Chain A
Amino acid sequence: MVMNKNIFHSALFMLITFLGVAAVYFMLHADFMAAVQVLVYGGAITIFLVFGIMLTIRGSMKETNLFSGHAALAGIVSLALVVVNAVMVISTNWSVTGAEPPEETVGSIAELMLTKYVVPFEVAAILLLVALIGAVIIAKEVKKTS
């Protein structure tokens, strides 16, 4: 995805990545999370980004997603982080329970959401509303008064 020079292709590859992540969730027995991933990321956010591309790129889609001058440095840093992370993960002794995961998670998540985490839940709702309004205001055309 990141290597592609065409931003639209990048977006499509990103969709595939999201679906892959959904598959990872399945492997982790997180069925609800997988569904949310497909709906929100695979559906909403990808569409969002495509809209963004359409609004900002005019003309040919080729050569729209190039690297900047410091790509090499960024690559070195990222690679270093990958290696460090891998070494750390492997060298750490994790306290894995080894128990079997629950068959379905929706009920438990719903219970947690509406009891223990009800306040963050509501706050998240407000956050989304604020973000919606904010996005509208920011993106609105500024009338040149002066």
Chain B
Amino acid sequence: MSEATLAPPAGGRTTTANRNMVLSSLRNGDRFFFWATRLSAWIVLLILGGIIGSLFVGAWPAIREFGIGFLTTQRWAPNAQPDPVLGGLGPIYGTLVSSLIAMVIAVPVGLGVAVFLTELCPQKLRQPISTAIELLAGIPSIIYGMWGFFVLGPFLAEYVEPALIATFEHVPVLNQIFKGPASNLSLFNASLVLAIMILPFITSISRDVFLTVPPVLKEAAYGVGCTTWEVVKNVVLPYTRVGVIGGIMLALGRALGETMAVTFVIGNSFKIQTSIFAPATTISAAIASEFAEASDVHQSALILLGLLLFVLTFIVLAAARLMLMRVEKKAGN
């Protein structure tokens, strides 16, 4: 704070006293601000630690009972005699595969929409389409679940799935993945609903970062004769990769943890089947449909599934960070 900004001495006090007063009040304000923000940061860590801790305590009986075998066992029989047999492989598989299929569908489409909006779309259409995509992001997941159950599921089972099954009937491997019968409720349908749910995240974040590309870069590229595709590939995407990957990871996080929409359309079966038209389950769907009824080690196994989802999400985020760092390094060289 420079002296010039200080008020002139008032009420007989000296300039020095006045200045000290102002400075100390500023210092106190700063200190208060420091502690307030620091406290907030600590609270976040505390809550995170608390959640991990309580998940671990809740999951402990299941960990003690099933050990590492929980990750490799597919059988889920809470009422088996004499002792329940509970394995998490089915829901873990369902979570990973449904998210993977959703990403395979949503990433190209989402990026495509973003490119269209920023590079190709007529000015007039830009605002309405952007608003529509942001509205998609605001729809509660239960609505997606109902829509998937009542509209999308029957439509897929009637038209899309039979066509896919017929197409790949004689192709080895693929005929196992696209194996009938068609079903309203299946891993494929859940993945498709997930893809539609995460699409707006990818699109709106990518669009925002695409808009940050300096026009001069693009104009230079166009000036040397690049096509739109080349501009996107060589200028826009390299310039914005951090933001784009961030958006994709946010979408993946949502896909991994999505509960209600998936529970509605996935069919809740713990059996792993090769066909993506067969019912499956995910970690969050299994917890949602069984938690109310569960007790003892069954309940503990569900909490363990929750803990695993937590770990899974953490690994995915860490991997994304790592990937990002390597990309940065490569770009730096």
A binds B: no
Q: Give the A-binding residues of B (Cβ under 8 A).
A: none
